[in-house]
Amino acid sequence: MYSFKNDYSEGAHPQILNALVETNLVQEEGYGEDQYSLQAAELIKKKMNDHNAAIHFLTGGTQTNMTAIAAFLRPHEAAVAAATGHINVHETGAIEATGHKVLAVPSGKDGKLTPAGIQSMLDAHPDEHMVKPKLVYISDTTENGAVYTKSELKAISAFCKRKNLYLYLDGARLGSALTSKANDLELSDLPKLVDAFYVGGTKNGALLGEALVICNNALKDDFRYLMKQKGAMLAKGRLTGIQFLELFRDNLFFDLAAHANTMAMKISGAIQAAGYTFLTPPVSNQIFPILPNDLLEELHQQFNFFDWEKVDENHSAARLVTSWSTKEEAVDAFIASLKEKVTR
């Protein structure tokens, strides 16, 4: 049964595996000081046109978020996130385990934060009897598949600068965001707008790996100490370096994400053509169609995917996720199955 459950069901893009095989016996320095990691960092800086950034490779999203936030904040400072934000719900309290409260702003269905939402947290935390909001956490794409427009991100960025807040962007699915039809941001915009962000590899063709980019000089000192302390420094750091080298050597990172988006758009187009709507507009590799329960039940017999939430007595939203590895035949089969069931 083909799975649209997530974007980490398979291994890595073959070109990445191939690079691992080809470099395998070269002796290199450990702990991220190998030539591959150094080259990959240079490459990413060049691609985003910021030679001042500090780049570190970590193994996963939760680890990257907790290591960065622990490095950036003093003990009484808190992170502001959408209530649906990954750090607020799906990281088993990793941020709190490093001592910091996450302040959850009630968010719309799209999972985006706004200056108004952040301001509400500043208003609610005026003095030393409460934590001090200091870092704003956003995800692009959001946990609900939405993408930030350039003007939205600029507005948040300007607000954060004005309020002396750090802006941190979780880019677990940054590839899908930057290649979305709804996007008008470029990778090179990010260093100007955020204090730090990460480029997600795990969900875009790597075996594992996230590239943390620290743009704000004030946040760079001693970051490798934090990585080591949080268990984020691989002895064979080459493993992440080599993968990011392949992703950014040419255009692989963007090509893979574009494929995932194309597959998602093909499915969402068919769903729309069949007369159904979505929880949030389908623009990235995660789509949330609202379908009749009996149709969902039938589709579940042929495909793996998650039911997301009940919408009304007879309808639920599903979550379908595509990836760099999604086969177009599987997409076509899903569409055919949908059409067949709908027209029956």
Q: In the range 124-143, which residues lie near a second copy by CB under 8 A?
A: 124, 128-132
Give the three-class secondary structure for 40.
helix
State which of positions 199-228 bind a second copy (CB under 8 A). Answer: 202-203, 207-208, 222, 224-228
* Residue-wise burial string across 241-270, b where 16 or more C-beta atoms lie within 10 A, e elsewhere: bbbbbbbbeeebbbbbbbbbbbbbbbbbeb
Provide the mask over 281-320, with x wherever binding to a second copy is found by CB under 8 A and - wherever it is not: ----------------------------------------
Distance CA 34, CA 100 (A): 33
108-127: which residues touch a second copy (CB under 8 A)? Answer: 124
**Contact positions with a second copy (CB under 8 A) in 1-20:** 2-3, 6, 8-12, 14, 17, 20
Kindly tell me which of 191 and 203 has the beta carbon lying closer to a second copy: 203
333 binds a second copy (CB under 8 A): no
How many binding residues for a second copy (CB under 8 A)?
76
Least separation in angstroms between residue 285's CB and a second copy is 14
How far the first Cα of the chain sits from its last, in Å, is 22
Residue with tokens 């941020």: 95
Min dist CB 267 to a second copy, Å, is 17
Peptide bond into 141 cis (omega under 30): yes
Task: Establish how many alpha carbons lie within 13 A of residue 177's alpha carbon, considering only the half-sphere containing its beta carbon.
Answer: 28
- Answer yes or no: are the C-beta atoms of 15 and 246 closer than 8 Å: yes
- When the beta carbons of 280 and 326 are compared against a second copy, the nearer one is 326
Determine the interface stretch with a second copy among 40-48, 98-106, 140-148, 190-198 (rule: CB under 8 A). Answer: 98-106
Q: How deeply is 92 buried, as exposed, middle or buried, from its count of CB atoms within 10 A (0-12, 13-18, 19+)?
A: exposed
- Lookup result for tokens 């500090």: 54
Binding window for a second copy (CB under 8 A); candidates: 23-31, 158-166, 190-198, 248-256: 23-31
| Footprint of a second copy on 163-192 (CB under 8 A) | none
